[in-house]
Chain A
Amino acid sequence: MIARFHLAIAAVIARFHLAIAAVIARFHLAIAAVNISSCLRALASSVLRRRPEWWRESANGSLNSQRSATSAEHRWVKLGALVAAVMMLLSAPLAYAQSGLPPAPYAYVQLDDPAKEAAAKALMDELRCLVCQGQSIADSDAALAGDMRSQVRERIRAGERPEAIRDWLIARYGNWVTYDPPFGWDTAILYIAPFAALFAGLWLAFGRFRRSKDGDAS
């Protein structure tokens, strides 16, 4: 009962983390999009500027003002390109050497039994890839993650409980390998912090309500 309670809380926490990660990723995407669009716009305008003089003059008035705008915009083009290049470098996945062998049998193949496949998928979503750290083995394309997926599916097909497989992996890789770590002294903050935050919020809210009521009365 308590274990199930913890599981539920851990699932909520994991989802919360996922949501934050998604927001951050979207934020980065947005910045990248802004950068790329500004680069494209700047490029487009610099291409347009290569048009004949008469076109520019008739379209934009005096040539002088156009010149100064050109150098200023060129600086922005360079800056934008630099930022975009740096971001692309940062986001480029590290090149991992991979083997020439085909993947393990159940790395990319689902189990025939839908119930068992669902159990395997639920477990794989909560196991962390050792190579692409921060991804689950369900999401990762690393060879080691493929081997782990195949192992999880085969063991669930053989009737092993997901929790037994998780414990087996924790014995090898520590709590790090699971997104749903067991309650312990080092994970206590994960379980206690939401309640602490909730109680702090309630305490603050009730404190304010009471004070404002007092204020109305006086």
Chain B
Amino acid sequence: MSKPHSRARWIAWAPLAFVAMLGLLFVWGLNRGGDRLIASHWIDQPMPTFVLPAASASRPGLSSAALADGRPRIVNVFASWCIPCRVEAPQLAELRARGVIIEGIAIRDRAADLERYLAENGNPYASIGADARGQVQIALGSSGVPESFLVDGRGIIREQIQGIIAAEDVPGVIAKLEAMQR
């Protein structure tokens, strides 16, 4: 009779053990740290169709049709209200100096704020489209600023860079864009 009894006792504790494990899982989940970067799934896909008006008087606006002219480039999603974008500005200037084409999409930006931002941080952009309501940002699967999309000569998005392009990332970005050229 002792054998089934010990088994019954084991089974009686199983639900408690299960709930305790569940509790531990929840504690782990709560302490795992908050936000994650959500990468775009719109990769190896054509640039969504859009026509954005000029965000700044100094540059033309941006349309998706202009991105398939055979030349790979960076499409940089940024904003004047975005503080990390200021940190990224010197790297964009260097990329520009080394011959990379950079198109800008200014997210929810006011013209006056943007002009001040460009005056302070330089203007490496060939064009700047005004995405006043974040519609192109959402169509790109972008979840924040700054983000950069590497677009090949046929207008296909090849890679998303979330956050700042750091100084040490610059050679890699140039190499990737040159690889797309070939």
Contacts and interface: CB of A to CB of B under 8 A. Distances in A.
Interface residues of B, number: 35
Contact of B143 (A130, A171, A211): A130
A147 B137 contact: yes
A47 interface: no
A173 B113 contact: no
B14 A148 contact: no
A100 B40 CA distance: 26
A24 B11 CA distance: 29
Interface string B146-162: 00000000000000000
Contacts of A207: 11
Interface string A159-177: 0000000000111111011
A131 B143 contact: yes
Interface string A174-218: 101100000000000000000000000000100110010000000
A211 B30 contact: no
A115 interface: no
B24 interface: no
A204 B21 CA distance: 18
B109 interface: yes
Contacts of B54: none
Interface size class of A (residues with CB under 8 A): 20 to 34
A191 to B, nearest CB: 18
Contacts of A99: 79, 81, 107-110, 113
Interface stretch (B68-76, B94-102, B127-135, B168-176): B127-135
Given A130-B143, A172-B41, A204-B14, A98 B133 contact: no
Contacts of B39: 174
Interface of A: 20, 24, 97-101, 104, 130-131, 133, 143-144, 147-148, 150-151, 169-174, 176-177, 204, 207-208, 211
Given A97-B79, A172-B42, 18 more contacts: A97-B83, A99-B113, A100-B110, A100-B113, A131-B144, A133-B34, A144-B134, A147-B135, A147-B138, A151-B138, A171-B41, A172-B138, A172-B139, A173-B38, A174-B41, A177-B38, A211-B4, A211-B8
12 contacts: A20-B26, A24-B26, A130-B38, A130-B143, A144-B137, A151-B133, A171-B42, A172-B41, A173-B38, A173-B40, A174-B38, A211-B8
